[in-house]
Structure 1
Amino acid sequence: MSSKDDEYDYLFKVVLIGDSGVGKSNLLSRFTRNEFNLESKSTIGVEFATRSMKVDGKTIKAQIWDTAGQERYRAITAAYYRGAVGALLVYDIAKHLTYENVERWLRELRDHADQNIVIMLVGNKSDLRHLRAVTTEEAKTFAERNGLSFIETSALDSTNVDMAFQNILSEIYRIVSQKQIRDPPEGDTIRPQNVEPIDVKPTMSTDGQYIKQLFKHRFCIYSSDFCTIHQWLFVLFYYL
């Protein structure tokens, strides 16, 4: 039985990266649950949440991964770049050091992620304009030089949070919809509509539910109806 949350045309994995304390977790909670926590603690390991949006009449389910910013978790989070089609590279506009570290995060992202990943530079905490340490022009120039889109947000007062995710999901969908759809191998699966094969191993969600993943080509695109009994048996035996 499928719930309404399972009714989507595509599922895109988007990662949030950047230094600890820049507000990644609150961007995640503001976008997915419309919540903000002033007492937010540093993320331990990796968390994710989902939210669906409409893009050009298609239902896009965004699976947003919040990666820990601390150095000791860097080796763990590197594995989670795999399969991501979008990334929000976040810094704090009131702390210049978090902006200086953006270049290092960008290098790491490009080392581990697909070369076609869509990246958006996000200057968070725009509500702290009186403490601003990074000018909009400086960040915009960096983004243009590195082929990134750019936006400033505030998870506290919701400014541009939905717009940031809407923009990156729309850009991912634009790229995906322009690619020629490849048919899955004959006899392997039920043929879905508007889906490309993906080649990543299934992962487990925090509540024990298995995430339906297809087989990787260049984009991590999912379809709720694209999984044969053989694939589900593989998932179960793989993790038991």
Structure 2
Amino acid sequence: MTGATETSNQKMEANVVVLGTESVGKSALTVRLLTRRFIGEYGDIESIYSHSFLSEGKEITLNIWDSPYSEDLSRETSLFHKKVQWADGFVLVYSICDRASFNTTSRLIQNIRSTKSHHGTEKPPIAIVGNKRDLHHRRTVLTEEGQLLALSTDCLFYEVSAAESYHGVLSVFHGLMDRIKDVKLTSKRPLRFKGIVKSMSAVFARRRTDSL
């Protein structure tokens, strides 16, 4: 059961999970969105943030679950299953300098869709993000490879540098939110953000909420 809700004609709320392997810039991407600042080093902390913005005159609130990577991250694990159930959309991050992180993205797409299919949603909105575009001299994954993966899986695709560009990061989340609105993931009794955080507090090492 997902949390995409429209509380009025002028407000909408949705849940987004950010996934990817270690050191690809997941937290840097999220914090860049929230604060416009780039911070290069982060601890291995499970966090949920809130971010609000205006889009076409409507107030949009994104609840963003920044998730550390685990080697056993698959649809068989309880925590992964809960994350997928909670989310209305996903940001899958890889580093253009790390081919293994790109290869993991394909597996994550398959696992997300397999888990979602059990709940009547075969193709939840997914944005594939190639990060660290500023390190082009260390590139091992071509832009065309990311584009082809997105095309073959019906996902959005972006290449960004969380270190250099706030607006590139902004386009990722706004583009995903547009896709979520198009898909209109709704339910009769949507699971609210506060309720899911309370019920799952045991799995968090820490919860942090920033509202802009």
TM-score range, shorter chain: 0.7 to 0.9
Change (3 A) 1:60 1:196: farther
1:200 aligned partner:
191
**Pairwise CA distance, 1:41:** 2.6
CA distance in 1, matches of 2:182, 2:49: 23
1:85 aligned partner:
88
TM-score, normalization by structure 2: 0.77
Q: Deviations over 1:176-235 (max 9, x none)?
A: 2xx9xxxxxxxxxxxxxxx853343722366699xxxxxxxxxxxxxxxxxxxxxxxxxx
Change (3 A) 1:33 1:99: same
**Match 2:43 to one of 41, 44, 47:** 41
Unaligned runs of 5+ in 2: 1-6, 199-205
Structure number with greater Rg is: 1
1:165 aligned partner:
173
**Pairwise CA distance, 1:145:** 0.7
CA distance in 2, matches of 1:73, 1:109: 11
SS in 1 for 2:129: strand
CA distance in 1, matches of 2:207, 2:42: 21
**Is the CA contact (8 Å cut-off) linking 1:85 and 1:116 kept in structure 2?**
no
Q: Deviations over 1:145-195 (max 9, x none)?
A: 11111001111112510011111111212332xx9xxxxxxxxxxxxxxx8
The residue correspondences of 1:99-138 to structure 2 (distance < 5 A) are 99-113=102-116, 114-138=121-145
**Pairwise CA distance, 1:73:** 6.2
Change (3 A) 1:67 1:77: farther
The residue correspondences of 1:168-183 to structure 2 (distance < 5 A) are 168-176=176-184
CA distance in 1, matches of 2:151, 2:158: 12
Q: Deviations over 1:83-106 (max 9, x none)?
A: 311111110001111111111111
Change (3 A) 1:198 1:156: farther
Greater CA drift, 46-55 or 93-102:
46-55
1:14 aligned partner:
16
**Pairwise CA distance, 1:139:** 1.0
Instruction: Tell me how many residue pairs correspond in the alignment.
Output: 185
Percent of residue pairs bearing the same amino acid type: 26
**Pairwise CA distance, 1:57:** 1.6
What code does the residue aligned with 2:89 have? G
Unaligned runs of 5+ in 1: 1-5, 180-194, 210-240
SS in 1 for 2:86: coil
**Match 2:152 to one of 141, 145, 158:** 145
CA distance in 1, matches of 2:190, 2:95: 35
**Is the CA contact (8 Å cut-off) linking 2:53 and 2:61 kept in structure 1?**
yes
CA distance in 2, matches of 1:59, 1:108: 31
CA RMSD of aligned residues (A): 2.6
Greater CA drift, 100-109 or 143-152:
100-109
Say whether residues 1:55 and 2:46 are aligned partners.
Answer: no
Change (3 A) 1:196 1:107: closer
Larger RCO (alpha carbons 8 Å, 6+ apart): 2
